[in-house]
Amino acid sequence: MAATVEEISVNRQFGGYNRRYKHRSTVLGCDMTFTVYFPPVAENGKVPVLYYLSGLTCTDENFIQKAGAQRQAAARGIALVAPDTSPRGLGVEGEAESWDFGVGAGFYLNATQEKWRAWRMYDYIVEELPALLRSAPVFASLDPSRASLCGHSMGGHGALVIGLRNPQSYRSLSAFAPICNPCNAPWGVKAFTGYLGEDRDTWRQYDACELLRDRSASSSSASLPPLLVDSGSADKFLETQLQPGALRAAAEAAGWSGATLRMQDGYDHSYFFISTFIDDHINFHADRLLAQ
């Protein structure tokens, strides 16, 4: 039996619809919300899916309301799927004490520490949400077999890691200001220690640079999807938290010829930055999602 999905809001935009939903997540053990933008052509047939993973403190609404992605998604005929960033409402002690850990900070991993056992955003994004899109009748116009991933900051980290670990599932990957090497960044060290414990070998499976280093030591990168990354030179988190240079070095060492990493002069970490370059990312994905 298909899971129950409740539509909680709808807004028409550029001839399509932003529809916000709530459902009970069996993976996370709580109600979760996510928003789907259906382009106009979804009324006439199936459309491919671009998942967008948001950053620290965000919900499913930040991207939908601030990025301005719907105009180009409508023009190109692709759906946008924006999930939340963590479980909410579970009442775990300390879950809301820090803006960079707990609620709003799921880091797109599967926690192994007992206290945080519900923090399984990796399985939610990789397995449960796509399964819901495939099975619920309200999503009959979506084609999750044609999917790509995009994200910002913590969500950029998530898009990179999920894409690298499941390259067969996504036609393309992109990120704005991703946390590239979380094993060596304060945000990542805090999150990984809390969710995964002290064993740094366990952390490596959720670090894009470490995954690329493993790949470069063992196999070709020919099977990896194409990648587009934009970072801003005025981003105050650039050197300490984001470390795009580490990603560039790891991608080059792995021979990832399809990786394009750009530095945008004068741009910061905000949605002003994202909205400036979002059309580039939509077109990058649409070119691959719509290819035969």
Residues with a known catalytic role? 153, 235, 269
Token pair listed for 179: 């946390």
**In 3-state terms, what secondary structure has residue 22?**
strand
Q: Which phi and psi angles does 224 have, rounded to 5°?
A: -80, 145
DSSP string, 129-143: HHHHHHHSGGGTTEE
Token pair listed for 264: 């945008």
Angle at 63 between CA 135 and CA 44, to 5 degrees: 45
**In 3-state terms, what secondary structure has residue 266?**
coil
Contact 65, 46 (CB under 8 A): no
- The conformation of residue 243, written as its DSSP 8-state character, comes to -
Angle (deg, nearest 10), helices 244-254 and 208-218: 20
Element (H, E) at 36: strand 30-38
